[in-house]
Amino acid sequence: ERKATVEELRRLAIENEKSATIRAVYARGLVNLSIKQELLERKATVEELRRLAGDNEGNGAIQTAYAKGLFNLSSKQELVELKATVEELRRLVGGNEGNGAIQTLYARSLFNLSCEQEQPEIKETVEELARLAAGNEGRGDIQIAYAKGLFNLSCEQELPEIKETVKELARLAIENERNGDIQTAYAKGLINLSYEQELPEIKETVEEMRRLAETNEGNGEIQRTYANGLFNLSNNQEQPERKATVAKLGRHAEANEGNEDIQIVYVKSLFNLSCEQGQAELKVTVEEMKRLAEANEGNGDIQGIYAYGLLNLLRKLEESDIKEIGRELARLAAENRENAES
């Protein structure tokens, strides 16, 4: 039905070739069609948009429609074809300098490109995003594309370079303090930084993540990132510092009880803690893991980690307590078998 509608629009555009409005509506119909198409069909639709744009160089609506089609195409392409599509968008930007919509689509396609690249190409792409962002300070979508590109870049860097990238993300986050997407990109950049740091620097980075989490309470992704930062910090600590960090993570999990990802990170940290504990402390930790498992009955990850915690406890227990742990493990296995069957 969608295809038939666009075909009817094409017929109208041919019969009314002097009507710029009908041609623009036809172009918009092609864009809508491309959204639902697979790659080969999408290519053919964008090729028709290219022809329309070539015949209507002064028509901003059609130029924008062509840019939208190219962006839609870029989301389906592999690296080699994606590069060519982004280059065509760059050419369109040059031919439509005052068209902010086309600049935004170009920025978003550059972000798509950065998702597929490695060094040194990704650095060049993010530098182009930086140039675009500098010339479009008031355009939130372009600033977001740049921030996300910086995060992608941080995934490919070593520590000294990551520091500089995260510093730039921090600057963007300060200048766009109400933009949740940019705050999220900064938080994710911080977690990448923490993975490369030694303990004293990790503490500073996680403290910055805590500040971000406090100022973005409704942002689930930032809350998850802070949980991961605490988990990473705890993995680099010895007792009793590790225990204190896991307690912080517990309070964070309690404040985000509806966020299953955070609950999983917390139970993982409890399991890691249990590997280093004596019998008395281990019992307390496994009891907390049990509470989490009972509160998240349908979560197989949490149930599985709790089972491993029970095994840790089993190794430390006296003979008289082993039967009780065996019964608990049997109950867990039976419950998870029932869940799998249902």
The 3-class secondary structure across 142-198, one letter per residue, is: HHHHHHHHHHHHHCCCCHHHHHHHHHHHHHHHHHCCCCHHHHHHHHHHHHHHHHHCC
Owner of token pair 């980075």: 205
Q: Report the length, in residues, of the chain.
A: 342
Average pLDDT, the chain: 94
Position 142: which residue type? I
What is the rounded CA–CA span in Å between residue 164 and residue 330? 52
What is the rounded CA–CA span in Å between residue 312 and residue 289? 12
In contact, 166 and 172? CB cutoff 8 Å: no
pLDDT band, very low/low/confident/very high, at 316 (cuts 50, 70, 90) = confident
Is a pLDDT exceeding 60 seen at residue 30?
yes
pLDDT band, very low/low/confident/very high, at 163 (cuts 50, 70, 90) = very high
At residue 282, what are phi and psi to the nearest 5 degrees?
A: -60, -40
Helix (H) or strand (E) holding 135, with range, is none
Strand blocks (E) in the chain: none
Is a pLDDT exceeding 90 seen at residue 262?
yes
C-beta neighbour count of 250 within 10 angstroms: 16
In contact, 143 and 104? CB cutoff 8 Å: no
Q: pLDDT for 89-128, tens place per residue?
A: 999 999 998 899 999 999 999 999 999 999 999 999 999 9
Position 92: which residue type? L
Q: pLDDT for 211-251, tens place per residue?
A: 999 999 999 999 999 999 999 999 999 989 999 999 999 99
The model's pTM: 0.90
With b for 16 or more beta-carbon neighbours within 10 A and e for fewer, the 295-306 pattern comes to: ebeebeebbebb
Q: pLDDT for 31-55, tens place per residue?
A: 999 999 999 999 999 999 999 999 9
